[in-house]
Amino acid sequence: MKFLYASRFDFLRTSRTIKATKMSTEDEERAVRMGKFERCPTHYGRRLHDGVHGVNVFTVPEMKGRRRLITEPHLNSVIRKEELPQLRSPGRLERRQGLRYAKYMLQIDFEAFYDAIPLPEETRDKFVFHTSPEYYLRLKTLPTGARWSVAVGQ
């Protein structure tokens, strides 16, 4: 999938500044422990280097007191919709008719598939954010808010 390769994002221009995330320290530490984020090996200062892109990171409340992590890359704004892979999902009736002669059927819910798809090492600098001026992080897994994430997951 071309959206997992760093070369796909070469020569794209996004904002050179990174907004600090509003995540709590607890949410941040949990995400690092779960393998979603890692510390950047490079310190970027106030402006990002060419070839490095920012990501907005925040959480939204869910039921039962949990918080859902959202990672929305700045690259969303520079990738045209025409470049995104077309998705085709059969409708409910089509799925049922396709299974009408099946003896068995298994349905799987891939609720957290974004976390199961790792970003290659060379692609991680395309998704950088910070929680304080001296502490930069980058994504290790597929961004949940990227326009192309659903296509990569399928």
Split at pLDDT 50, 70, 90, the class of 109 is low
Amino acid 140: pLDDT: 92
- 65 falls within a domain: yes
pTM over the 0.85 mark: no
Contact yes or no for 144/114 (Cβ under 8 A): yes
pLDDT above 70 for 133: no
Q: For residue 148, is it within any domain?
A: yes
- Burial class from Cβ neighbours inside 10 Å (0-12, 13-18, 19+) for residue 40 reads middle
Q: For residue 61, is it within any domain?
A: yes
Quote the number of domains for the chain: 1
pLDDT score of 121? 92
Instruction: Give domain status of residue 124, yes or no.
Output: yes
Residues 25-67 have pLDDT tens digits of 888 888 889 899 998 887 766 677 788 888 888 888 888 888 8
- Which CATH number belongs to the domain containing residue 110 in this structure? 3.10.10
Amino acid at 117: I
